[in-house]
Amino acid sequence: MSILVTGAAGFIGYHLTLKLMSEGHEVIGIDNLNDYYDPALKKTRLKSLTEQDHDHKFTFKELDISDEYALQSLGKGHQFSHIYHLAAQAGVRYSLTNPQAYTQSNLVGHVNMLELARHQKELKHFIYASSSSIYGDSTTAPFQEDRMTEQPKSLYAATKKSNELLTQSYSHLYGIAATGLRFFTVYGPYGRPDMAPWLFTDAILAGRPIKVFNQGDLRRDFTYVADIVDGCFRLLNRPPENSLQSIFNIGHNQPVQLMTFIETLEHILGLEAEKIMMPMQPGDVYETSADITKINKHTGFKPKTSLTEGLTNFVTWFKEYHQ
C-alpha cells in the first residue's frame, strides 16, 4: 500500500513513518520544515528515516499543506490507499500570539487535505490528528468522545474542533472514510522542544529553574509515543462503516499530577529542579484524561508504557542527541 503521511518530519509523524516502513508499506512523507522549533531536529528525524529505509520504502517531499496547488500536483502524481494527516501548527500558547499560523495550517491546510482525499480514487481511509484540547475545562474525568466540545479555551483547540466538523461534512458529502484521533499529551524520544519533558530536562541538566504553572496543580494524561503509534497503526485497515467519520480518544488513561511528573523526572536525572511557581496560563486547561474504552473495543488498543519507562527512554535519547 502507498501511504501519505503529512508532518513526517514531526514528532509523531516520524515515529509513525518508521512503523509503517517496518511493516513493509511504501510511505510518501511531506513536511514544510517550518521554524516553529529548530528545523535541525526535523532534519535529524528525516536523516534517521533515510538511514533506516533499507528497502527504499520512504520518499520525502518538502511541501506545505496550505499550498493548494502543490497538494493538487502531489495528488495527480500519486494514488494513496491511506492518508495519515498529522501536519498542523501545534502549541496552545503560541496560538495566542501567532493566530495566522493556525489559520493557514490547521484550517486552510486541513481543507486542502480533504480536497486531496476526495480526489483519490483508491483511498480507503483518511486518519487525522485532532486533540484532547478540544475538551476545554471539562470537570468530569475521564473524557468521553460524546462529551460536548463547544467551548475550546484556545485558538489551537478551536481549529482542531473545526477540523472534526469539516471532516464530518466531507465524509457525508463525498463518502470519505475518516477517523479523527484526539491525542493526549504525547511524549518520548525525538519529542518537541516546546513541551514539558524537553523544557524541564534541558533546564534541570543546565541548572536553570523550571516554570511550574498553576503552582503545580495540573493533571495530564501523558502518553508515550510508541503507544500512540500502535493505536494509529491498528486503525490503518479499520475505517468506519458506511463512510462516516469516527472519533477516538488515544491516550494513556492514567493522568498524573504535574508535580508527580517533575518528581519522576528528577529521580531519573538524579537532580532536583529549582522551581518557579507560576499562575495558570491563558489557554491552558486543568486536566486531560482520556477514556479509551471506544478505541479499545474497536482495535484492542491498550497503552503499555509507564511514565517512568517512557521518561527514562526520553532522557536517554535527549542526552545522546545533545552530545
Give the integer Cα–Cα distance in Å for 216 and 263. Answer: 11
Q: β-strands 82-85, 58-62: how paired?
A: unpaired
Residue the block writes with cell 502507498: 2
CA distance 11 to 192: 6
Q: How far is CA 34 from CA 44, 58, 106, 295, in A?
A: 14, 21, 14, 32
Q: Where are the alpha helices (DSSP H) in the chain?
A: 11-22, 39-51, 68-77, 94-97, 99-102, 109-118, 155-174, 196-206, 225-234, 258-269, 293-299, 307-321
Residues 6+ apart with CB under 8 A from 215: 277, 278, 279
My answer on whether omega of the bond before 303 falls inside 30° of 0, hence cis, is no
Residues belonging to the active site: 156
The identity of residue 67, as a single letter, is: D
> Which sign, positive or negative, has the C-alpha torsion 189, 192, 195, 199?
positive
Find the helix packing angle between 225-234 and 11-22, rounded to 10°.
Answer: 50
C-alpha cell at 135: 475538551
Name the 3-class secondary structure at 114.
helix
Q: Coil, strand or helix: which one is 291? A: coil
Note whether 15 and 40 are within 8 A (CB). no
